[in-house]
Structure 1
């Protein structure tokens, strides 16, 4: 019989990265906020698409190119529909694209605010291990140690101590995993040695 409580955590970042740009209205560099809206422009059979950002100090806008002078036939139907309808999920994926933002500026403010959606995959009456499978649909800036600490009500020093004692393990051998971003496909295993800790840990792991 398995002695593992398996859960899935979907990590949803809440605040998109904010690129610092020279603001014409402020005559100074400012962090620009994503408006959550896209702009689509047609020029014959060519399309341009931008993600709209704004300066919170003076409301000047900046259009970040998504694509330019693209043949309409080369754009898949889902992307075109998302742009035409300002689909919030599709736009969020673009807003969290750090690679695209870094083509425009190297100074970017990131935020580690996340929503954690928890689903129980399997549970047995008796268990001593908790397996957490991470689903990260968009780039999240939160570190592994902070996520575990906040969700289980632990200090980050305590998380690091548990890691050093192999009471927390991962499916990757990359160094300093606790200091890295939470990524899609990451799996963590918590060894719960004291049965008296199980009720509170189960509640935190399952979101009950």
Structure 2
């Protein structure tokens, strides 16, 4: 019999990352929210495309460049059709392009409102060891500690203590693992032997009653 409860968490972020930018209307840095709309501008055979964002405070707009001065013939037909129709699937993918956002700002806010689908791979709630396998469908800058805190109802201070004591590890191993963004295929291992509320932690991890 396995002494490890293994669960798979499939994480689907509900809100796209919000870049922090200087807002001309507010007069300071503010988070900007993707509007779900695109803008195209043609100049002869050249095409510019932007994804439109709005300030979360005053709704002033920011046009995030998708491409500039691109020859129309070099734009894939499906991409052009998506831009012309504000295709929600394409827009969502672009809004979650964190690497692209990092070219525009040093600060990106990732909200913790993710849908987490749980699936038990093995073991039971009475196990003293918990292993969480992450399936991350969209690139995310959501930190491991924020995810665990939200889903297991554990304070970040407690998570940090568990990590310091060697009772919480992230595989593959890395420095400051709790502060790292979640990654597809990562495994979080918790030794709950000394935790009085281990049954409750396990219940939250697997979901259900």
User: Which runs of 5 or more residues in structure 2 are unaligned?
Assistant: none
1:129 paired residue number? 129
Distance across 2 between alignment mates of 1:161 and 1:60: 43
Normalized against structure 2, the TM-score is what? 0.77
Q: 1:47 to 1:2 in 2, by over 3 A?
A: farther
User: Which runs of 5 or more residues in structure 1 are unaligned?
Assistant: none
> Does 1:38 pair with 2:51?
no
2:17 paired residue number? 16
1:174 paired residue number? 174
Distance across 1 between alignment mates of 2:28 and 2:194: 53
Deviation at 1:187, TM superposition (A): 1.1
Q: Secondary structure at the match of 2:22?
A: strand
- 5 Å-filtered alignment, 1:80-91, equals 80-91=80-91
Answer with 59-68 or 40-49: which moved more: 40-49
Distance across 1 between alignment mates of 2:188 and 2:57: 42
Distance across 2 between alignment mates of 1:155 and 1:103: 33
2:143 paired residue number? 143
1:185 paired residue number? 185
Answer with 194-203 or 157-166: which moved more: 194-203
2:114 paired residue number? 115
Q: Secondary structure at the match of 1:170?
A: strand
| 8 Å CA contact retained: 1:33, 1:55 | yes
| 8 Å CA contact retained: 1:45, 1:72 | yes
Q: 1:71 to 1:188 in 2, by over 3 A?
A: same
Residues 167-204 of structure 1: per-residue CA shift (max 9 Å, x gap): 22221221111122222332111223269755423321
Residues 82-119 of structure 1: per-residue CA shift (max 9 Å, x gap): 3233233432332233433343344x351432314123
Distance across 2 between alignment mates of 1:7 and 1:78: 38
Aligned residue-pair number:
205
| 8 Å CA contact retained: 1:170, 1:189 | yes
Distance across 1 between alignment mates of 2:73 and 2:140: 33
2:201 paired residue number? 201
Q: Secondary structure at the match of 1:93?
A: helix
Normalized against structure 1, the TM-score is what? 0.78
